[in-house]
Structure 1
Amino acid sequence: MLGGTFDPVHLGHLRSAVELREALALDRVHMIPAAMPPLRGEPRVSPDERLALLRLGIADTPGLVADPRELARDGPSYSADTLASLRREVGDEARLVMALGHDAFLRLADWHEPERLFALAHVVVIDRPDHDAVLPAALTELLAGREVEEGEVLMAQPAGKLLRLRLPSRMAISATEVRRRLASGLSVRYLLPEAVEARILARGLYRHR
């Protein structure tokens, strides 16, 4: 599971999903747009539009799935509920992973039912090479005894561990910067998949701040 607002999906999101799948030999990566992210501002375009852009971005990429399950639920998009839904589908013995970026990881202890996340899945942090922040005390407590150093160790059981993973590319693309460029009429070429860029420009999405 790789969640996010995907507002809009960009090549950094998609490349991270591909490299995550390769690094951990995952069957598939569910890219799940959040309808109402509890700890983020409201996305700039509608959930259905963000899902359409994500599907265009993924296209026929093997192993990547645009998963709309959070958009079909009422209320805030809690990751614990999404993982519970995935766990019911894959069964108790399957290995389930929730991947997130470093900034989101630093706030993990503030998430809804953070202990339940580890009961349902492993957590994989896509680390930034230049980021080595001191962890908040509540996060340190949450992670006690959970961190492992190797993917093989992580995948030896269905859930409960944490792995920090540095992916090869780590493309420094920001959705905030993409939105700013679109609002200013600047080029977003090579930041987004061509089909995503074409739909955004054709529909005038993100045109105004």
Structure 2
Amino acid sequence: MTDFIPTRAIGILGGTFDPIHYGHLRPCLDLLQQLNLAEVRLMPNHIPPHRAAPGSNSEHRLAMASLAVAHCDDLSIDTRELTRTTPSYTIDTLIELAAENPNTPVCFLIGLDSLNSLHTWYRWEELLNYCHLVVSYRPNYELTLAPEVQKILEQVQTTDVEALQQQKQGRILLWPSTQLEISATRIRQLIENQQSPQYLLPDNVLSYIQKNNLYT
């Protein structure tokens, strides 16, 4: 067995991105810089396992996400979950990424709401075998963890950013990052009501939505 010689960690943010907006993008850039990540990959999913199906199809959501990161070299799009015909289970993606990047730590980026519901995820107990969890939160936000998640958090939580680079997987970092009060639901509602969502999402994404008559 060879020794683990790490390369800079990468970040992964999954979601439907229906549509992608600054509430997705700004925290990614914050975490990339503050945690010294090599890159952050945004990973749109085809069939989300924990929520209703997206309102726009995979092709449109991929196009919007690609436009959103077009001018940021450190953000990219990973399409692997869009090509699946089965639900996009995180554990399957992390196993693939670990095999492709044997010396690169993977930081899976989630919000505190996802940590609170982690015990409902498919094979959630295995996630830390393949990644670190980086949990973005607002100061004074309340943790309401299931007892089994709380136990694991107490065992593996770190406050040391360098631990994410020095170990391949297995840590949970709670990190305060920019949290913008923007939701894709609100953007869709505005468009449906013939109101402008300008300044909530990139202009090129809004132009794409208008050109393709999405969410009307």
Q: Which residue of structure 1 aligns with residue 207 of structure 2?
A: 198
Q: Flag the 1:37–1:107 CA change in 2: closer, same or farther, 3 A.
A: same
How far the C-alpha of 1:128 sits from its partner, in A, is 2.3
TM-score by length of 2: 0.91
TM-score by length of 1: 0.94
Q: Which moved more, 1:21-30 or 1:137-146?
A: 137-146
How far the C-alpha of 1:109 sits from its partner, in A, is 1.2
Gaps of 5+ in 2: 1-11
C-alpha distance in structure 2 between counterparts of 1:206 and 1:189, whole Å: 15
Does the alignment pair 1:72 with 2:83?
A: yes
Q: Which residue of structure 1 aligns with residue 25 of structure 2?
A: 14
Q: Which residue of structure 1 aligns with residue 58 of structure 2?
A: 47
Among candidates 115, 127, 130, match of residue 105 of structure 1: 115
Gaps of 5+ in 1: none
Coordinate RMSD, CA, aligned: 1.2
Among candidates 181, 188, 207, match of residue 179 of structure 1: 188
How far the C-alpha of 1:130 sits from its partner, in A, is 4.6
Q: Flag the 1:166–1:44 CA change in 2: closer, same or farther, 3 A.
A: same
Matched positions, count:
205
List aligned pairs for 1:1-209, cutoff 5 A: 1-91=12-102, 93-167=103-177, 169-207=178-216
Amino acid at match of 1:188: P
**1:182 counterpart SS class:** helix
Identity %: 35
C-alpha distance in structure 1 between counterparts of 2:148 and 2:212, whole Å: 44
C-alpha distance in structure 2 between counterparts of 1:130 and 1:184, whole Å: 34
C-alpha distance in structure 2 between counterparts of 1:204 and 1:131, whole Å: 37
Q: Flag the 1:48–1:130 CA change in 2: closer, same or farther, 3 A.
A: farther
